[in-house]
Amino acid sequence: MKIGAQLFTLRTYLQNEKDLGRALERVARIGYTTVQLSGLGSIPAKTVRHLCDENGLQIVLTHNPEHRFLNQIDVLIEEHQIYGCKYVGLGMMSEKYHQPHWLPCFGEDFYAPAQRLKEAGMRFMYHNHAFEFARMSDGRTLMDHLLDMFPADVMGITADTYWLQFAGIDVKKWLSEHAERLPCVHLKDMTVAGFENRMTAVGEGNLDFAGIMDILDHSGVTEYALVEQDHCYGLSPFDCMEKSYRHLNTLGYR
């Protein structure tokens, strides 16, 4: 299992080719060797791959808007072949699918694109937030229904530790029970500021990352554990990513 950087953390610095190169250089200098592409500006796939290669960074996962899965799946596959990346992620389903009467449409809309990715040697990855764990009228969660729509070899889950905790889920138990779905995971810590939950660098919050990493490591399924911090509350996101990386080093991961 390799530690990686979820570049959404650095999205402000990824909007043009020059800044992307600078940001990737700093990510590599911290010690990361793998990255997830998310939050980038309109930069050609070949240019992104070249800049990552220059800095010794392997692209292992992406996030893409819904319309690209639904309307541009062949182009999306071609881009990921350029990236050398087999995990193709959706960051979140749009709000219309949150409703019980429209949720089945997510499976109807996304199964064919997910199957096309599988045929191309790739895997559709869904990233969770907290709303997927809301109870529905039948007593099951939206996530339960989502998992029923897609077999594990067609859709994986990019489990986000912060949002699992936020939703009141036993993080380690859920990761253990759904290991077959988790080739990629987002590592994100939670702290408390007064009555507010906040994202923080891994190791500076309340999640048990020694236990989390042990579960992921021993499952034998998780290939990439990607550090993410959506909000840094005025701190440098590069410094936050370095703090996370150094803490994971103390646990024996690189």
Dihedral pair phi/psi, residue 154, rounded to 5°: -100, -35
Q: How far is CA 57 from CA 25, 87, 150, 246, in A?
A: 9, 16, 31, 18
Weakly modelled stretches of the chain, pLDDT under 50: none
Looking at residue 247, what is its pLDDT?
98
Q: Which domains does the chain have, with CATH numbers?
A: 2-250 (3.20.20.150)
Decide: 226 and 34 in contact? Cβ < 8 Å. yes
A 10 A CB-CB count for 108 gives 9
Rounded to whole angstroms, the Cα distance separating 151 from 23 reads 37
Tens digit of pLDDT for each residue in 79-105? 999 999 999 999 999 999 999 999 999
Looking at residue 56, what is its pLDDT?
98
Tens digit of pLDDT for each residue in 54-80? 999 999 999 999 999 999 999 999 999
pTM of the model: 0.97
Looking at residue 55, what is its pLDDT?
98
Looking at residue 144, what is its pLDDT?
98
Q: How far is CA 195 from CA 5, 30, 206, 219, in A?
A: 29, 33, 15, 35
What does DSSP say about strands 58-64 and 87-90: parallel, antiparallel, or unpaired?
Answer: parallel
